[in-house]
């Protein structure tokens, strides 16, 4: 997926409220490259961000495709 496609998917993922289970990542269906970019972002930013998971995912979507 492109950055825009991934951002659109993540926004819909959060809106839908559906989750992939306890071991699922929001970027699982987005392809390896997009998943790895998100994992690297999570590893660097999650610990000190103070955001909910949903807001964190949406922030990543906004980084990929600013609106």
Q: Would you state the pLDDT for residue 1?
A: 95
End-to-end CA distance of the chain: 18
Residues 6+ apart with CB under 8 A from 38: 25, 26, 27, 30, 60
CA-to-CA separations, 14 to 10, 66, in angstroms, rounded: 6, 17
Q: Identify the pLDDT of residue 24.
A: 85
- What pLDDT score was predicted for residue 17? 86
User: Residue 52's Cα: distance from chain center in Å?
Assistant: 12
Q: Which residues of the chain have pLDDT under 50?
A: none
Question: For residue 13, what pLDDT is reported?
Answer: 95
Does the reported pTM lie above 0.85?
A: yes
């Amino acid at each position: 997926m492109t950055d825009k496609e991934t951002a659109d998917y993540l926004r819909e993922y959060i809106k839908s409220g559906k989750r992939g289970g306890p071991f699922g990542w929001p970027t699982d269906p987005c392809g390896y490259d997009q998943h790895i970019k998100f994992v690297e972002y999570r590893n660097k930013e999650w610990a000190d961000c103070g955001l909910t998971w949903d807001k964190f995912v949406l922030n990543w979507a906004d980084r990929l495709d600013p609106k």
